[in-house]
Amino acid sequence: MSHQYNFAYLDEQSKKMIRRTMLKAIAIPGFQVPFGGREMPLPYGWGTGGIQLTAAILGKEDTLKVIDQGSDDTVNAISIKKFFKTTADIEVTESTENATIIQTRHRIPETPLKKGQIMVFQVPIPEPLQFIEPRRRETAKMHAYQEYGAMYVKLYEDIATYGRIATAFDYPVQVNQRYIMSPSPIPKYDNPKLNQSPAIHFFGAGREKRIYAVPPFTDVKSLDFEDYSFELESWNEPCSICGSTTSFLDEIITDDEGTRLFICSDTEYCQKRSQGGE
């Protein structure tokens, strides 16, 4: 099948341009580098930015894992794996440990990442300041001059209204003491995993045509205040399948009476634990 496409779908010149952008993104952690995003054979919102990054990184020896909200088995994850199996004939896996590249929509796996692994995040809205200032020209200036006061005002308004910072996902971070960055809509529970991570993290926004990155061993700080510090969500009960008390749990409604249970969002981690006696 693969001979019908160029390796990993994109043509070589497109990959070259994306690769140059990726190197600049690594050199300026957290800065959104514009790139000539290509048309991909799927609609915006389904991971076109992430797919272009993966296509530019991927080699014959790579093993790819794709997750969607922590699950290896959703339509988006399966379709993207199938796409790269068809166009690049590479190995795919569900194991976080065995993957060299992990493309993800909205989660970071529970299994700790290793040096050499590359995370690729699908990003719907790369600009963390967009809801404060919709004009691109203005947000570019705010990043240039580190004019980040408005972002703190937004967090403060949360505290004034709800008594706490109510943002639960896409929680803004500051990278390498410089740029404020959207970590993509991962739950804030995953934010600490970005800080001083041994893996390389790439973020690709296909519609907005930007790429940004966090290199390994880089400071990533979730924004907060001295008297209202960044807090992680917690659950009162363990995962009903594997019993984990340390992973991010999804709430599942099981019948019309409102019976609910909590299970791990990371399906591979949960399966490994319930089968393998941890």
* Segment near another protein (CB under 8 A); pick from 66-74, 162-170, 176-184, 264-272: 176-184
The minimum distance between CB 154 and another protein, in angstroms, equals 22
Residue type, 89: D
Site for another protein in 3-32 (CB under 8 A): 6-7, 12-13, 15-17, 19-29, 31
Cα separation, 211 vs 19, whole angstroms: 10
Helix/strand/coil for 253: strand
What 3-state class would DSSP assign to 54? helix
CA pair distance 203, 41, nearest whole angstrom: 19
Q: Which residues pair with 79 in a beta bridge?
A: none
CA distance 73 to 94: 9
The Cα–Cα gap between 29 and 254 comes to 43
Q: Closest separation between CB of residue 211 and another protein, Å?
A: 10
Q: What is the largest CA-CA distance in the chain?
A: 59
**Least CB distance from residue 164 to another protein, whole Å?**
31
Catalytic residue among 30, 37, 49, 50: 30
Q: Does 141 bind another protein (CB under 8 A)?
A: yes
Q: Which of 47, 50, 242, 277 is catalytic?
A: 242
Site residues for another protein, window 100-129 (CB under 8 A)?
116, 118
Q: What is the dihedral of CA 76, 196, 110, 81, to 10 degrees?
A: 30
Give the nearest distance from C-beta 67 to another protein in angstroms: 22
Cα 263 → chain centroid: 21
Name the residue with tokens 């001083």.
196
Q: Output DSSP code: residue 187.
A: B
Decide if residue 99 touches another protein (CB under 8 A). no
Q: Residue 84, interface with another protein (CB under 8 A)?
A: no
- Please indicate whether residue 239 is annotated as part of the active site: yes
When the beta carbons of 84 and 269 are compared against another protein, the nearer one is 84
Question: Which of 61, 251 has the CB closer to another protein?
Answer: 61
CA neighbours closer than 13 Å in the CB half-sphere of residue 228: 15
270 an active-site residue? yes
What are the structure tokens assigned to 228, written together?
A: 């209202």
Which residue is it, tokens 């339509």?
Answer: 75
Contact code string over 184-223 relative to another protein, x by CB under 8 A: --------------x-x--------------xxxxx----
Q: Tell me, yes or no, if 47 is annotated catalytic.
A: no
Shortest Å, Cβ 230 to another protein = 21
258 catalytically annotated: no
Residue 227, number of CB atoms within 10 A of its CB? 6
**Active site includes 242?**
yes
For 38-86, give the DSSP string. PP-SS-TTSSHHHHHHHHHH--TT-EEEEEETTBSSSHHHHHHHHHHHH
Out of 51, 56, 102, 263, which residue is the one contacting another protein (CB under 8 A)? Answer: 56
Enumerate the active-site residues: 30, 239, 242, 264, 270
Interface residues with another protein (CB under 8 A) are: 6-7, 12-13, 15-17, 19-29, 31, 33-34, 56-60, 116, 118, 140-141, 143-145, 176, 178-179, 198, 200, 215-219
